[in-house]
């Protein structure tokens, strides 16, 4: 029959082994939980980054569309201004011709 000291030693050894197993299990669960939280956080950041990138591209495309529309308006304004300057030059030419000929009469 084993001595009382041996039984106590085995009981302490089993208790320590059980506590060590519980501690290792708790630590592993903690690291798995932390890893999952970090993974979810990174996934959220990636999703937000994709959304921001999409919004940025849409904004740039919208601005380019507005720029093209403004360029068309500027081109139309320049063409109309060219016509008006040409008409003004013609009127001035006729006015100078009239004044030049009118002053001799």
pLDDT in tens, 24-43: 999 999 999 989 998 999 99
For every residue of 41-73, which 3-state class applies, written as one string? HHHHHHHHHHHHHHHHHHHHHHHHHHHHHHHHH
Give the lowest-confidence range in 2-6, 13-17, 79-83.
2-6
Over 50: is that where the pLDDT of 105 sits?
no
The per-residue pLDDT for range 30-82, each reduced to its tens digit, is 999 989 998 999 999 999 999 999 999 999 999 999 999 999 999 999 999 99
**For residue 80, what are its two tokens?**
């109309």
């Amino acid at each position: 029959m084993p001595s009382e000291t041996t039984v106590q030693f085995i009981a302490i050894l089993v208790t320590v082994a059980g506590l060590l197993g519980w501690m290792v299990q708790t630590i592993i669960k903690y690291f798995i939980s932390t890893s999952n939280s970090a993974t979810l956080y990174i996934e959220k950041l990636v999703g937000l980054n994709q959304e921001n990138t999409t919004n940025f591209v849409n904004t740039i495309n919208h601005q380019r569309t507005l720029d093209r529309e403004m360029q068309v308006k500027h081109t139309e304004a320049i063409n109309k201004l060219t016509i008006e300057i040409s008409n003004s030059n013609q009127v001035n030419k006729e006015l100078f011709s009239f004044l030049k000929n009118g002053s001799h009469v």
